[in-house]
Chains A and B, each alone.
Chain A
Amino acid sequence: MRTTALPVPEATRPRTVVVGALLGAAAAFIVFAGLVSVYVQQRQAARAAGTEWFPEGSVELGPAGMMMMTLALSMVTVQWAVQAARTEDRPHGFIALGVTLLFGASVVNQFWFVYADTGFAIDGGRAELLFYAVTGSFVAMLIIGMAMMVVATVRSLMGPFGRELAHGVQAAAAYWHMCVLSYFIVWYVVFITK
């Protein structure tokens, strides 16, 4: 057999969807980093001027900690979904994607509670404006991540649960991990150090 007749070996480069998702996630993270930078700079300026940033006791740590725990758990379930997609394990894949979506929805719900609990108004001052800008952007990013999960779930319902889908789930998972990392920053900067 001539060597030119040999089949072309499969490319071993990272898959296109995953690479695209990683680049997109990086861009989204930079948006978030820019927002947090403005937040931190303005808070430092307020403190340097002797001005109170948030009124004492207005921002509770409890719900924020719960959200951190929820999102930390979602990192496990999203990896479970990736593993299930790789091994073509449809039942586990559905459960993992569903639980991750549930965790995401519960975080959005907890943010709703936080907004009601703090009673902040978006035009109540620089601190309240930036509080909404930073956390609202995070919620928007999380909802985009949930939409990616929904697409992966729908595609798995409509087609084979195989290698191609695994790349889609990996891409959604990469974005999801970026969201959790972003929330970790929010948790530390906005809720812990206040």
Chain B
Amino acid sequence: MTLTEPAIADSEASLAAGGADAPSASTQPVATHPVLAQPFVTSDATTVGRLFVVASLLLALGTSVIGALLSFGRTEAVDPADMFGGLNAYFRMWTLYRVSFMLLVVLPLLLGVAMAVVPSQVGAGNLAFPRAALASFWTWKIGALIVVVSVFAGGGWGAVDGVTGNENDAIALTLLGTAMVIVALLVGAVCVATTVISLRQTGMSLLNVPPFAWSMLVSAAVWLFTLPVAIANIVVIYADLRGRPAIAFGRAEGPDIWQQLDWLVEQPAVYLMAVPVLGIVFESVGAAVGGRTSRPEIFAVVVGLFGLLAVGGWAQDYFTAPQDLRDGLVYVAFGLAAVLPIVALAGGAGELVLRGTATPERLLDARTVGAGSALKLLGAAALVGALRVVEPFDLLETAATWAVFHGVVVAGLVAGVTAHLTWPDRLLTGSISQILGRGTVVLLMVGGGLLVVTDLISGFASDDQDLMALALDVNVTFNVINLIGSVLVVAGLAAALAAMATARRTATVTGRRAS
């Protein structure tokens, strides 16, 4: 037995072995575990991937509910601070919403899809380091639990109105949980990247791997170059804080801690969530219309370029004067250039449609609708991002920042749902119905679109820089539209979970009848 081979391969892992010449296809005897024990002992990448997907979608539902409450707070129906029990509590929810959508929802969702899909795409018997992948899931899960519990216990990423009692300890716990989550995601990314680099089928060059596998390789590389910088930030903050009044970086009297970490959810690092979306979009359109691209190497270059533009550890305005960083040529160039790969990918998807069977039925297939929706949201986010870095518009430090964030996050969610429509056998064991699939995607796209538009308008309308954008400053109508967008995202996620549960149940019932 080598370090790379699982001790126990589940039945599905053996079935997934792509071919006899897969470099490390498992030949171990098949052993099965009781259903309840599987999440703790499985060495099957598909099972680990499904665990990531289900857990992240459940967290997505909770996070989107927080988002709807925050949007409700921006209407004039209630004082936002009173609604959560104080300004600090509002700040905690506001920051949790952002960090959670990135680290607890979209990244693990796409990582889970990759763990389930990529090994079979490259012809590997299983994921590289399957036990490490399972460890990454449980580390992520426990880290996520620590983050959520500590935030509700008075922790979070700093405060805006001073700290009392044991809140410093709770903040230290939140930082610990955040670091655990990031380390877990990095371990998962290493497993996926190693599978593509080292376990792909003999004769398959790196540039010939399927689009999603390539996009995940690029994503893993970009995550490895960016997320560790956040760990470095956390080390410095934690060394200063350690549950007691801090002297410099861990000060909780103001939003210093958040300001050291907010680069993670802003341009360019926010695009960390978007790179795998490109692969899902391309494969879903191709699968729906039955088309193949004539120039796969162009797709590889475009995704690689987009990945390069998502490397974001350098863009930390806490340590550099914000105006020095954000008026700099590199920051502006990154913001503007991010539009180009998405336009190029839209062109590539168009070519797939032209080369495939473009019947109305296939164009209205849930996979095509999902891919189109994800691409539109991503395009909208990149466009707002490009406007944001143009100085005359004066959109930096305004709600336009969150327009970009919302566009990318909801594109990631739509891509996650579309992946379930494209690879149902790997992710669900049953197919989602077309109507449910289309309905889910449309709900998410409309909700995400409303969030992007209202945040952008708020960015244009606001005169002063407001950290939490407590009000839209336009009129009540826009605040209500923003709330509707948030509610639609909640509804879309609920529909996605219901559709997946139905698909799985139907597959189980059909299987029982067949046997």
Contacts and interface: CB of A to CB of B under 8 A. Distances in A.
A38 B128 contact: no
Report, nearest first, the 5 A-B pairs whose CB atoms are least far apart: A34-B232, A30-B228, A11-B23, A34-B229, A31-B228
B225 interface: yes
B4 A34 contact: no
Interface in A13-41: 13-17, 19-20, 23-24, 26-28, 30-35, 37-38, 41
Interface string A132-155: 110011000000000000000000
Interface in A36-74: 37-38, 41-42
Contacts of B233: 34, 38
Nearest to A10: B23
Chain B interface category by residue count:
35 or more
A123 B247 contact: yes
Nearest to B193: A23
A35 B202 CA distance: 40
Interface of B: 2-4, 20-21, 23-24, 128-129, 132, 186, 190-191, 193-194, 197-200, 202, 220, 224-233, 235-236, 239-240, 247-249, 313, 319-320
A168 interface: yes
A125 B236 contact: no
B197 A19 contact: yes
Interface in A145-167: 164, 167
Contacts of A167: 2-3
Given A126-B247, A130-B236, A164-B2, 13 more contacts: A13-B197, A16-B128, A20-B132, A24-B190, A34-B231, A35-B232, A37-B319, A38-B232, A42-B319, A123-B247, A126-B248, A129-B240, A137-B235
Contacts of B229: 30-31, 33-34
Interface residues of A, number: 38
B236 A133 contact: yes
B190 A23 contact: yes
B248 A30 contact: no
Contact of A8 (B20, B129, B319): B20
A122 interface: yes
B269 to A, nearest CB: 13
A168 B2 CA distance: 10
Contacts of B4: 16-17
A31 B231 contact: yes
A20 B129 contact: yes
B198 A19 contact: yes
Contact of B224 (A16, A26, A122): A26
Given A20-B128, A27-B186, A27-B224, A129 B239 contact: yes
A16 B198 contact: yes
A22 B256 CA distance: 34
13 contacts: A16-B2, A16-B199, A19-B198, A23-B190, A31-B231, A32-B232, A35-B232, A38-B232, A38-B236, A38-B319, A123-B247, A129-B240, A132-B239
A11 B3 contact: no
A40 to B, nearest CB: 10
Nearest to A44: B319
Interface string A158-186: 00000010011000000000000000000
A9 interface: yes
B384 to A, nearest CB: 28
B232 A13 contact: no
Contacts of B313: 30, 34
A133 B235 contact: yes
A45 to B, nearest CB: 8
Contacts of B3: 16-17, 164, 167-168
A28 B239 contact: no
A39 to B, nearest CB: 9
Given A20-B194, A23-B194, A164-B2, A9 B224 contact: no
A30 B225 contact: yes
Most buried by B among A9, A33, A133: A133
B232 A122 contact: no
A27 B228 contact: yes
Nearest to A26: B224
A11 B125 CA distance: 14
B224 A13 contact: no
Contacts of B225: 26, 30
B21 A8 contact: yes
Contact of B235 (A11, A16, A23, A31): A31
B228 A16 contact: no
A121 to B, nearest CB: 11
A32 B235 CA distance: 10
B194 A41 contact: no
Contact of A30 (B129, B132, B224, B319): B224
